[in-house]
Amino acid sequence: MSFLDKIFGSSERENIAVEFWNKIESEADLDEVIRKSFQKKVAIFKHSTRCFISKTVMRKFEKEVERSDKDVEYYYLDLLAHRDISNKIADQLGVEHQSPQLIVLENGNVARSASHHSINLDLV
């Protein structure tokens, strides 16, 4: 990892180290996430892999989730790799694009959303 990668984060998420994340990599994945929200609360974390703030917020959120016992499914969207899916989220769910951003879905609708340093487990 280069010096700049250490400061700003690498251009791609090396490995999602935390096991609770489910990846969203296609529009079909997003459709499935929305369907699942009718049975269980889901949270989508939209992350820019080149942004230091996004990386910092994500790590803080991961630590909160790891200490939590909330019954939620957590999803991860790499914005740089899947900007089209981020655009679909904005259009379909009516949430203005932000990065980083946490969107909580219940029954197919946005229950809560936050961005940047407003992201925390209390939203879930």
The DSSP element (H or E) to which 89 belongs, if any, is helix 83-93
Residue 72: closest CA among 30, 16, 18, 22: 22
Residue 96 has pLDDT above 70, yes or no: yes
Question: Residue 114: CA atoms inside 13 Å, Cβ hemisphere, count?
Answer: 13
Residue 15 pLDDT > 50: no
* Whole-prediction pTM: 0.85
Query: What is the H or E stretch that residue 91 is in?
Result: helix 83-93
Q: Is the pLDDT of residue 72 over 90?
A: yes
> How far apart are alpha carbons 39 and 41 in whole angstroms?
7
Cis peptide before 100 (omega within 30 of 0): yes
What is the CB neighbour count within 10 angstroms for residue 71? 8
pLDDT score of 17: 55
Calculate the average pLDDT of the chain.
89
Count of alpha carbons within 13 Å of 97, Cβ hemisphere only?
A: 16
Q: Are 73 and 40 in contact (CB under 8 A)?
A: yes
| Mean pLDDT of the 77-103 span | 95
